[in-house]
Amino acid sequence: MHWADVVAEKLLKRGEKHVLATAITPSGPIHVGNLREVLTTEAIYRALKEKGGKAELIYIGDTFDPLRKVYPFLPSHYEKWVGMPLSEIPCPCEGHKNYAEHFLEPFLNSLKDIGVTPKIYLAHELYEKGIYKEAIKTALDKAEVIREILTNIAKRELPKHWMPLSIKCENCGKLYGEITNYEYPIVTYKCKCNFEGEVDIRKGGIGKLPWRIDWPARWKIFKVTFEAFGKDHAAAGGSWDTGKEIAKKVYEYEPPMPLVYEFIHLKGKGAMHASTGVAISAEEVLKILPPEVLRFLFMKYEPYRHIEFDTGYGILDLVDEYDKYERVYFGVEKEDLKNARRVYELSQPYEIAQKLPIIIPYRHLAVVAQIGKNFEEVLEILKRKYKLEKFDLNRLKERYEKIVYWLKKYAPDEIKFELQYEKPNVEIKNAEKDFLKNLLEKFEKIEWDAEKIHTTIHEVAKETNFPAKKAFQTIYKILLAKKQGPRAGYFLQSLGKNFVLKRIKDFIT
Ligand SMILES: [Zn+2]
Ligand SMILES: [Zn+2]
């Protein structure tokens, strides 16, 4: 069984109604590693519904979290905003409502692209509307229990009178107010800026529960029954360990079923973290990968499996692998891939195609995309080899656009070339000329097919006693003005017979 179905069945044994929660702090670009949490949860949500359960998928943007520091991607003048809620800090590009929106907006758009449509809540609105009111009162009333849990399980050393609520200072606007006295409904506090004040906790937005308390509080508020989280939260004494206890002992709520997922590593750079800059945003990844392939990456591997994300050749391999699953799904390829049909189904952002779309190997598309000057020209080239139906064009166009972006920004140099539309200014020797003359003769007679082109080059090289390696170099030279290029057979086929013959003639006469 697929992992999403396994978890869904476990959940159904607990009950029929479920709320699956996912959350991210929009303190920086939301990266593809964060998508794992959302997509893992969404797959289970889909599985639950298919099995007849009642399920709700919610997404909480932690917009009321304070800015922790000036991250490497921020200008230094952001220093003055450190400690303020993300929802109250100006956006770095000046085009969004606030700092949190700046990072949330592109991410939520990406979610739509990959077919994830949760009910969205923003933490600062929840606090301002007073949704946390009860949870705050309970936390303060049971502050001693919370202190004990944090001391015993998280090994925190807390001041004797520490209270589980950070007050938003009325003077500096930062979440640095520490409670000095609590007598319901009034708390008095002292801020790092030395301001002392008092507020009524029944009022919305006066402060925020620290993360370790906020998390179990929202389980109760939203009746969360499932939550996936990264292994940082799952470490011994981490926020999951304390969260469970706080849920039971403070909020009298049974903690949700947990699922710990592994981080995504960026090849050659380590685990992705927005704060260290080792990350590629979800939005950016969707510029180089079709949404179904991005989903596929997470559906194929169990959530606890390590994923190494490679923006170079890895992209080509990933799409090829997806295509293989697609062929298996549509029954045109028999291959024993684990849960192939289910992985394919769960990889679809929206509907599953009615029939097998045309599959052009991504490597071929990478070649053709560099030959044609635009999508129309690329289509013309492809039509020489493939029978394209109207049904295929949207997907083909999408893939073409992504590959063009990838070629521009991420593709390894070896894969890139510049076709010389006019005869390039390169010198060729007599031996090369001889080889080309013989090649021309043979080329004129053969059917213009990649396989045949390839064997013909070898044959002619052998007959003319010209080393095969040099033969290929000569061909690349007259077409690309350099010594290497894409696999010759398919490359020459894509250029078209006329173009290639004319170019050879240009060099031998
Ligand atoms: Zn902005
Ligand atoms: Zn202050």
Q: Distance, CA 94 to ligand 1 centroid (Å)?
A: 5
Q: Distance, CA 72 to ligand 2 centroid (Å)?
A: 25
With vertex at residue 491, the alpha carbon angle to CA 490 and CA 492, rounded to the nearest 5 degrees, is: 95
Q: Distance, CA 193 to ligand 2 centroid (Å)?
A: 4
Q: Report domain extents, the chain.
A: 1-311, 430-508
Q: Distance, CA 29 to ligand 1 centroid (Å)?
A: 11
pLDDT digits (tens, 9 = 90+) for 129-157: 999 999 999 999 999 999 999 999 999 99
Q: What mean pLDDT is reported for the chain? A: 95
Q: Distance, CA 100 to ligand 1 centroid (Å)?
A: 9
Rounded to whole angstroms, how far apart are CA atoms 36 and 482? 42
Q: Distance, CA 149 to ligand 2 centroid (Å)?
A: 28
pLDDT score, position 277? 65
For the domain 1-311, what is the CATH code? 3.40.50.620
Task: Look at residue 329 and tell me whether its pLDDT is greater than 70.
Answer: yes
Question: Looking at the CA of 94, which ligand is closest?
Answer: 1
Q: Distance, CA 99 to ligand 1 centroid (Å)?
A: 7
Question: Looking at the CA of 102, which ligand is closest?
Answer: 1
Q: Distance, CA 24 to ligand 1 centroid (Å)?
A: 18
CATH of 430-508, one of 3.50.50.60, 1.10.10.350, 1.10.3470.10, 3.40.1400.10: 1.10.10.350
Q: Distance, CA 195 to ligand 2 centroid (Å)?
A: 5
Residue type, 471: A
Task: Look at residue 244 and tell me whether its pLDDT is greater than 80.
Answer: yes
Q: Distance, CA 274 to ligand 1 centroid (Å)?
A: 16
Peptide bond into 467 cis (omega under 30): no
Q: Distance, CA 283 to ligand 1 centroid (Å)?
A: 14
pLDDT digits (tens, 9 = 90+) for 353-376: 999 999 999 999 999 999 999 999
Q: Distance, CA 479 to ligand 2 centroid (Å)?
A: 68
Q: Distance, CA 198 to ligand 2 centroid (Å)?
A: 12
Beta strand 264-266 with 307-309: parallel, antiparallel or unpaired? Answer: parallel
pLDDT digits (tens, 9 = 90+) for 436-480: 999 999 999 999 999 999 999 999 999 999 999 999 999 999 999
- Under DSSP, is residue 91 helix (H, G, I), strand (E, B) or coil? coil
pLDDT score, position 273? 73
Residues 155-164: contacts with CB under 8 Å, at least 24 apart? 155/237, 163/187, 164/139, 164/140, 164/209, 164/210, 164/213
What pTM was computed for the model?
0.92
Residues 445-448: contacts with CB under 8 Å, at least 24 apart? 448/384, 448/493, 448/496, 448/497
Q: Distance, CA 214 to ligand 1 centroid (Å)?
A: 27
